[in-house]
Structure 1
Amino acid sequence: MKIQGKLIIIGGAVDRGSFTETNVPTDTSKNLNFFEAGILKRIINESKHKELSRIEVITTASIIPKVIGPEYIKAFNHLGANNADVLYIQKREQASDPEVLERLKAADVIMVTGGDQLRLTSILGGTLFDSIMLDKYRNSDFMYAGTSAGAAAASNNMIYQGSSSEALLKGEVKITSGLGLIDGVIIDTHFVKRGRIGRLFQAVVGNPKVLGIGLGEDTGLLITNGCQMEAIGSGLVILVDGREIKDTNLTQIEIGKPISINHLVTHVMSKYDKYDLETRKMSIRDTQNVEN
């Protein structure tokens, strides 16, 4: 089935400008380059009606929804997208509220903020909101954009816990089901600054069929047709492909013991690089330009 919608997953710490600060003009000017060419601008440009798109910001994962939600609205407004609002869903029963569902049906974009991805999936998973969102993503020109927890929860398999420093000890990484917008991948966020590559290694060695995606801060992927991925933002995307693993001690060792992996393939993507999930082929923008 060809996916009609678009998916943007972001590693977190999106440099959207801190409009809660008192010195708004100064702080805004520091972020003008990001506003003009960054991830939030790309979300608007890729949406169905551009600046006129109806955007709903979902703060379910956050413990400070009343702070983070309005900040996103101010950022979108600054970029010319004035048809944006916060849709507060803090309890599971709210995800079946008729007014909430009508707003979701009318939305062109939902922007899912950071926080706790397990909170996000436990509140939204299996609800009418979840069903309508998945249907819109699969069958219409609709965009799901998620940062940090919102990104981690987008796939079928979701990392929800695991120490970075001990991530390659068997059993340290905890995985559960996500929201299911994309299959065949597992996503980790805040990837560079928090040193989470070990978490992704363990997730992939446990099921090498799944492609690991590590998103750096202010970095993301635009995914179209359910399989065409383009790196966006200022940092790096790390891909971990386990299909060519030759050997591992994963099943022989006890819980808490170090994992060994022989021949784990990785790729590094930066802005405008592309990767096809179906063919598992990567194209680097600058080298393609040279060849052409």
Structure 2
Amino acid sequence: MNIQGKLIIIGGAVDKGSFTETDLDKNAAKNLNFFEAGILKRIIDESKHKGNSRIEVITTASKIPKEIGPEYVKALHYLGADNVDVLDIVRREQASEPEILDRLKAADVVMFTGGDQLRLTSILGGTAFHDILLDKYHNEDFVYAGTSAGAAAASNNMIYQGSSSEALLKGEVKITSGLGLIDGVIIDTHFVQRGRIGRLFQAVVGNPKVLGIGLGEDTGLLITHNTKMEAIGSGLVIIVDGREIKDTNLTQVELGQPISINHLVTHVMSINDTFDLTTFKMTIKSSQYV
């Protein structure tokens, strides 16, 4: 399938309770640090009508949508986007209301904020809103952008729970279905800062066909046609490729016991590096060997 839309997934900043962890900050403005200015500007630039694109900020994942939504609107306005509004869907019934569906149909960009990705998928999954979202992504010049929870929920497989410190103990990582914009990958966020590499290792060893993507804060990926990924922002993206795993004790150990993995391939991407999802090849933009 030739995907017409673009996917921009962002590792997040100081979020409000993503996954099962809480790092509450009374100053909601800090939830949108201006490190994102470069990434948010890229979202605008990649959209169909640039500064005139219709952008809907979707705050469903957040427990404080009335504080977070206006911060995104303010930042996007500052960066030159003049047609931005907040679409706060808090109940499943709302995801079938004609007014909300019409707003989604008219949008060139949706920006899903951080929070709890299980809240996001449990409210939107399987609704008319979800169906239209997928149709627009598949068939239109449309941008799905998501930060933190909004990024984690973009793939078909979604991590929704699992502590960082115990992530390589069997059974500690919980996975469910996401919004399904992209298949064959699984995404984790706040990756470097919260030491979540073990979570991604366990997700991949259980299904080595799935490519693990770990997004650091300050960092995003622009994915075009669901085939090419480009690192954007100032941080790191960790790619975990399990296709060449030679051995593991995953099925032999009891729940709560450590997992062993032999020959798990990892890549580290930084700004402007690319990764081809069809060949599984990474290209370093500023390679010392070019």
**TM-score bracket relative to the smaller structure:** over 0.9
Measure the CA separation in 2 of the matches of 1:272 and 1:175: 30
The alignment status of 1:196 with 2:219, answered yes or no, reads no
What's the counterpart of residue 165 of structure 1? 165
5 Å-filtered alignment, 1:116-195, equals 116-195=116-195
What's the counterpart of residue 104 of structure 1? 104
Deviates more, 1:5-14 or 1:255-264: 5-14
TM-score of the superposed pair, with normalisation by structure 2 = 0.93
What's the counterpart of residue 255 of structure 1? 255
Letter aligned with residue 198 of structure 2: G
What's the counterpart of residue 76 of structure 2? 76
What's the counterpart of residue 22 of structure 2? none
What's the counterpart of residue 226 of structure 2? 226
Measure the CA separation in 2 of the matches of 1:238 and 1:8: 16
Letter aligned with residue 184 of structure 2: G
What's the counterpart of residue 236 of structure 1? 236
What's the counterpart of residue 39 of structure 1? 39
> Quick one: percent identity of the two aligned structures?
79
Letter aligned with residue 233 of structure 1: G
Measure the CA separation in 1 of the matches of 2:105 and 2:90: 19
Q: Give deviations 1:106-157, integer Å, cap 9, x for gaps.
A: 0000000000000000000000000000000000100100000000000000
Measure the CA separation in 2 of the matches of 1:41 and 1:212: 26
Measure the CA separation in 1 of the matches of 2:286 and 2:36: 21
5 Å-filtered alignment, 1:40-55, equals 40-55=40-55
5 Å-filtered alignment, 1:259-274, equals 259-274=259-274
Q: Which consecutive residues of structure 1, in runs of 5 or more, have no partner in the other structure?
A: 22-27
Letter aligned with residue 197 of structure 1: I
Letter aligned with residue 129 of structure 1: F
What's the counterpart of residue 95 of structure 2? 95
Letter aligned with residue 255 of structure 1: L
What's the counterpart of residue 24 of structure 1? none
Q: Provide the aligned length of Structure 1 versus Structure 2.
A: 278
The alignment status of 1:278 with 2:274, answered yes or no, reads no
Measure the CA separation in 1 of the matches of 2:7 and 2:180: 12
What's the counterpart of residue 20 of structure 2? none
Residues 109 and 145 in structure 1, CA contact (< 8 A), matched pair in contact too? yes
Residues 11 and 147 in structure 1, CA contact (< 8 A), matched pair in contact too? yes
Q: Which consecutive residues of structure 2, in runs of 5 or more, have no partner in the other structure?
A: 16-25
Measure the CA separation in 2 of the matches of 1:260 and 1:155: 26
Measure the CA separation in 2 of the matches of 1:20 and 1:105: 29
Query: Helix, strand or coil: the match of 1:286?
Result: coil
Query: Helix, strand or coil: the match of 1:282?
Result: strand
Measure the CA separation in 2 of the matches of 1:71 and 1:204: 35
Residues 19 and 74 in structure 1, CA contact (< 8 A), matched pair in contact too? no
Q: Give deviations 1:21-50, integer Å, cap 9, x for gaps.
A: 6xxxxxx9x94x863xx1000000000000
What's the counterpart of residue 4 of structure 1? 4
Report the Cα offset of residue 20 of structure 1: 6.6
Residues 14 and 218 in structure 1, CA contact (< 8 A), matched pair in contact too? no
What's the counterpart of residue 13 of structure 1? 13
Residues 56 and 110 in structure 2, CA contact (< 8 A), matched pair in contact too? yes
Measure the CA separation in 1 of the matches of 2:280 and 2:136: 26
Letter aligned with residue 128 of structure 2: L
Measure the CA separation in 2 of the matches of 1:92 and 1:34: 30
Runs (4+) of structure 1 moved beyond 3 Å?
18-21
Measure the CA separation in 2 of the matches of 1:14 and 1:236: 17
Report the Cα offset of residue 19 of structure 1: 9.6
Residues 11 and 189 in structure 1, CA contact (< 8 A), matched pair in contact too? yes
Measure the CA separation in 2 of the matches of 1:34 and 1:83: 19
What's the counterpart of residue 217 of structure 1? 217
- How big is the alpha-carbon RMSD for the aligned residues of Structure 1 and Structure 2? 1.8
Residues 19 and 71 in structure 1, CA contact (< 8 A), matched pair in contact too? no
What's the counterpart of residue 19 of structure 2? none
Measure the CA separation in 1 of the matches of 2:54 and 2:112: 14
Change (3 A) 1:256 1:19: closer
